[in-house]
Amino acid sequence: MADPVARKRWQLAAADGAAASLASWDPGAEWPWPAAAAREVARNDGRAVVRLELPGAPPLFVKRFDPPQRRVFRREEAAARACAERGIAAPRIVARGRRRDGAALLAFAELRGEPFDVALAAADGARRATLLAALPRALAQLHAAGIAHGALFAWHAWVVDDSFAWIDLAQARVRSVRRTCPDVARAADWAALFATLDRRRLSLAERARMLAAYEPDRTARRRLAGAIRRARGKLFEKARLPRPEAIREWTDDAQRLVVADEVVRSWDLAAPIGAVESWLAPERAVVVRTRDGRANLRWSDPPGEPGATWFGKRFDAAPRHGRSPAFQEWVNARALASLGIAVPDVVAVARRHGGASICWTRGVAPGATLRELLPALAPREPRRLALLDGAARLARRLHSAGFLHRDLYLDHFLPRADGSLVVIDPTRVSWHARLPGRGRTKDLAALEFSARAAGVTRAERWRGLLAYARGDRAFARRLARRALSKAARIAAHERRHGRPGPEA
């Protein structure tokens, strides 16, 4: 029988010239480094990153792997060594350690620099151009070396001066030097990068230029762009979109709660998981409407945000496919935000195991929906036309990325003071590798039906359809025939159920 003490003892090995970094480590401790010199900077799924500042030694970053993360440990170690052998910039392994019970660690030398998204936000015009030109070259070098990152979010591309290094290689796939990465793996890296940089931070034109620098051949580039769209949809489908850093989460066997970080600080939540019931039905919240197992709530002057208004959607239905409706709405909202589509800020999501769930969002000023606003504007008024064109462009952007809203009435567009539109109620959003024609028709028919109810003229509706079709009149006519037919069926359905117009 194995000695339990031996199973908890670390087997440590240092790289050449790095033995001094391990001089103060204790192989018999739970984690061998001196606790006073350690500061945990990240934790996720059985892994944690700790920064060590040891006297007389340069800072180290140690990634520790709790059991049963041994396969992830081996993958990251192999990827880091492959990068070093093939001339790819990545953190250098200083030490490694393993325990018989499955725990492991990798110590890396500190890499000076900053994440790509941070560098891009602070860059002026010249430096921005330099960074956007350097990234596709560095990524092409990585893929040509037979390495796919596997989780290339913007903060895993590390800017060192004007060049790039790649960090957090736990999901990397390493192939032979003589084999380049397949299109699927290359597209997955680009999709993860684009998913973490919305179009306000990285425009469509800049994305196109980066892809052109990465893949000069036009036919291959078009094929790669299609693969990127599919890979991005899979991120959404599997709910593997990167989680916002301003979110904290607590889970136990019976409850789950996700809260915005600024709310946690302002409320001083000491035992947040015990507060799930108060999120599902706050005392000061007003029930605005109930229908089909759902309730819409309004919460004025919530704690920590005087003068603000939050809107909640509570679902009494049990989770479907393992995910509660409120959490599905949160995932859908993140997917739309990754496309650069404005959605309300999610404040909190909570659920009781096997039962009710709720999603709270901040109100959008001034608060009137597009259907409520349009009748107050005169026909052909510039603001009215701009709002209708904006709704058509948003619908096209959704469909071009493979998404269907499935409830795309004008009631679900909220104009902001600057004239931009916010899309609400993404509960039923779905992604498709190939957009079904029936789904597109249903979305456009919902717009047609609600536009009629809002008094939008026939000429204005045709103008919006042309904007959706990018000026292709033949395509717009085909869409119009199908949308008009479906809109008539929607109107008949509403009349049978005694509803004169679409409901929010």
| Residue range 281-291, pLDDT digits in tens | 787 889 988 88
Q: How confident is the model at residue 312, as a pLDDT?
A: 92
Please write the tens of the pLDDT for every residue from 244-278: 767 777 776 678 888 887 776 666 554 555 567 77
| β-bridge mates for residue 310, sequence order | 299, 362
Ordered alpha helix ranges (H), 361-415: 370-373, 382-400
Q: Is the model more confident about 300 or about 69?
A: 300
pLDDT category of residue 131 using cuts at 50, 70 and 90:
very high
Do 114-237 and 370-496 show the same overall fold? yes
Q: Name all contacts of 121-129 with Cβ < 8 Å and 24+ positions apart.
A: 121/201, 127/162
Q: Which CATH architecture has domain 114-237?
A: Orthogonal Bundle (1.10)
For residues 134 and 214, give the distance between their C-alpha atoms in angstroms, rounded to a whole number. Answer: 10
pLDDT at 135 > cutoff 90: yes
pLDDT category of residue 393 using cuts at 50, 70 and 90: very high
Whether the predicted pLDDT of 16 surpasses 70? no
If you count DSSP H runs as helices and E runs as strands, how many of each does the chain have, helices first?
15, 22
pTM: 0.69
Chain centroid to Cα 170, Å, comes to 19
What is the C-alpha to C-alpha distance for residues 68 and 97, in angstroms, rounded to an integer?
Answer: 15
For residue range 291-330, list pLDDT tens digits in order: 888 899 999 888 778 888 999 999 987 666 567 888 889 9
Check residue 321 and give its pLDDT: 58
- Looking at the structure, give the CATH architecture of the domain made up of residues 4-109: 2-Layer Sandwich (3.30)
* Ramachandran sector of residue 277 (left: φ over 0; alpha: ψ -120 to 50; beta: rest): alpha
CB 450 within 8 A of CB 411: yes
Q: Give the pair of three-digit tokens for residue 39.
A: 């500061």
In this structure, CATH architecture of domain 247-362: 2-Layer Sandwich (3.30)
> What is the number of other CB atoms lying within 10 angstroms of the CB of residue 161?
9
**DSSP one-letter code for 346:** E
- Write the pLDDT tens digit of every residue in 222-245: 999 888 888 888 887 776 777 776
- For 376, other C-beta atoms within 10 Å of its C-beta total 10
pLDDT digits (tens, 9 = 90+) for 90-121: 988 888 888 877 788 888 888 888 889 888 88
**pLDDT bucket at 503, cuts 50 / 70 / 90:** very low
SS3 for 446-479 is HHHHHHHHCCCCHHHHHHHHHHHCCCCHHHHHHH
Domain ranges of the chain: 4-109, 114-237, 247-362, 370-496
Structure tokens at 419: 């004239």
Convert the pLDDT of each residue in 466-501 to its tens digit.
999 988 999 999 999 999 999 999 999 888 877 765
pLDDT at site 1:
40
For 197-218, what is the mean pLDDT?
A: 86
State which fold the 370-496 domain adopts.
Transferase(Phosphotransferase); domain 1 (1.10.510)
